[in-house]
């Protein structure tokens, strides 16, 4: 079943937590990701690649990432767990990939953002983007007419709600919220904000939603769940072995964002509220 255009589709994979996650979940996800490389033009791993940012975990995470597909087929952004006792620059050096980047495809632009460290307001808001990163976002949105999809570890505040961790918690949202929304509102081509971090199960409220950011502009907010575990973090890593293990295929059509959820345990497609495809039409007062 491929009724979507892989050339207009990205696959976004949430919180891996290599070093904590039970081997069977890592293996199942990697095998199915390797099988589905041709269903998307690019893949993004959206942070918390490791549990404690150790060099052993980095080596294991890199080997796992490489097992999913060729190195140029995927990109990464950093999560708070990737920045234990190191800055974004140290993490980028360890992985040989940037944490803040832009990739252009024929019909859309993909923008990856990371926090500079996990120190935001003394670690209570670790997903705090640096002022220069906000300037970067504004410029990347402004210099293209392509539709833009932003991928970063934390959700916009008050989007995905009702799971054990959610975007109403300042620790789990991206900051500074007001400044980010002002930038998104100023660019009608800002189409989607895609996040991980909250480990939200598929039945979570507003896992995908049309979020007003101001100026009559709505952006599609999507949370992609987690390979490691769904919901609250169990004390026993083997406990999530049979939990849903999924990632998101996001298609940018001419007038909408489409979301499909890939089930890595069955190699099939899951549903959200009974639907295999969730479609959120573009909405902007200025276009
Ligand atoms: Fe995480």
| Residue-by-residue pLDDT tens, the chain, 287 positions | 458 999 999 999 999 999 999 999 999 999 999 999 999 999 999 999 999 999 999 999 999 999 999 999 999 999 999 999 999 999 999 999 999 999 999 999 999 999 999 999 999 999 999 999 999 999 999 999 999 999 999 999 999 999 999 999 999 999 999 999 999 999 999 999 999 999 999 999 999 999 999 999 999 999 999 999 999 999 999 999 989 999 999 999 999 999 999 999 999 999 999 999 999 999 987 54
CA of 37 to the centre of ligand 1 (A): 24
Q: Where are the domains of the chain?
A: 6-281
CA of 264 to the centre of ligand 1 (A): 18
CA of 49 to the centre of ligand 1 (A): 8
Give the tokens for residue 245: 């293990």
**Over the stretch 94-140, which tens digit does the pLDDT of each residue have?**
999 999 999 999 999 999 999 999 999 999 999 999 999 999 999 99
CA of 236 to the centre of ligand 1 (A): 16
CA of 195 to the centre of ligand 1 (A): 11
Ligand 1 ion: nearby residues, β-carbon < 5 Å: 15, 48
CA distance 197 to 116: 16
Q: CATH number of the domain at 6-281, out of 3.30.70.100, 3.40.1440.60, 3.20.20.80, 3.60.21.10?
A: 3.60.21.10
Check residue 91 and give its pLDDT: 98
CA of 146 to the centre of ligand 1 (A): 30
CA of 151 to the centre of ligand 1 (A): 15
Q: Which one, of 104, 8, 30, 70, lies nearest residue 262 by Cα?
A: 30
CA of 48 to the centre of ligand 1 (A): 5
Check residue 286 and give its pLDDT: 55
Check residue 284 and give its pLDDT: 83
Report yes or no on whether pTM surpasses 0.85. yes
CA of 15 to the centre of ligand 1 (A): 5
CA of 215 to the centre of ligand 1 (A): 32
CA of 197 to the centre of ligand 1 (A): 5
- Residue 128 and residue 176 in contact, taking contact as beta carbons nearer than 8 Å: yes
CA of 272 to the centre of ligand 1 (A): 21
CA of 6 to the centre of ligand 1 (A): 27
CA of 82 to the centre of ligand 1 (A): 9
């Amino acid at each position: 079943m491929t009724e979507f255009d892989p050339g207009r589709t990205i696959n976004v994979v949430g919180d891996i937590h290599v070093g904590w996650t039970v081997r069977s979940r890592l293996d199942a996800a990697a095998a199915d990701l390797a099988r589905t490389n041709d269903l998307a033009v690019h893949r993004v791993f959206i942070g918390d690649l490791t549990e404690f940012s150790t060099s052993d975990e980095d080596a294991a995470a890199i080997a796992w990432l490489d097992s999913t597909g060729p190195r140029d087929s995927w990109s990464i952004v950093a999560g708070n767990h990737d920045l234990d006792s190191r800055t974004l620059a140290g993490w980028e050096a360890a992985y040989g990939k940037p944490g803040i980047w832009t990739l252009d495809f024929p019909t859309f632009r993909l923008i990856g953002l990371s926090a500079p460290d996990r120190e935001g307001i003394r670690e209570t808001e670790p997903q705090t983007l640096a002022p220069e990163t906000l300037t970067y976002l504004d410029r990347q949105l402004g210099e293209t007419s392509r539709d833009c999809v932003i991928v970063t570890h934390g959700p916009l505040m008050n989007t995905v709600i009702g799971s054990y961790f959610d975007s109403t918690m300042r620790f789990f949202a991206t900051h500074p919220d007001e400044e980010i929304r002002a930038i998104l509102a100023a660019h009608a081509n800002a189409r989607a904000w895609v996040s991980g971090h909250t480990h939200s199960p598929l039945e979570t409220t507003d896992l995908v939603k049309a979020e007003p950011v101001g100026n009559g502009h709505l952006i599609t907010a999507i949370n992609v769940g987690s390979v490691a575990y769904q919901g609250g973090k169990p004390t026993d890593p083997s406990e999530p072995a049979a939990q849903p293990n999924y990632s998101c295929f996001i298609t940018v059509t001419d007038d909408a964002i489409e979301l499909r959820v890939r089930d890595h345990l069955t190699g099939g497609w899951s549903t959200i509220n009974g639907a295999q495809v969730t479609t959120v039409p573009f909405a902007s007062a200025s276009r």
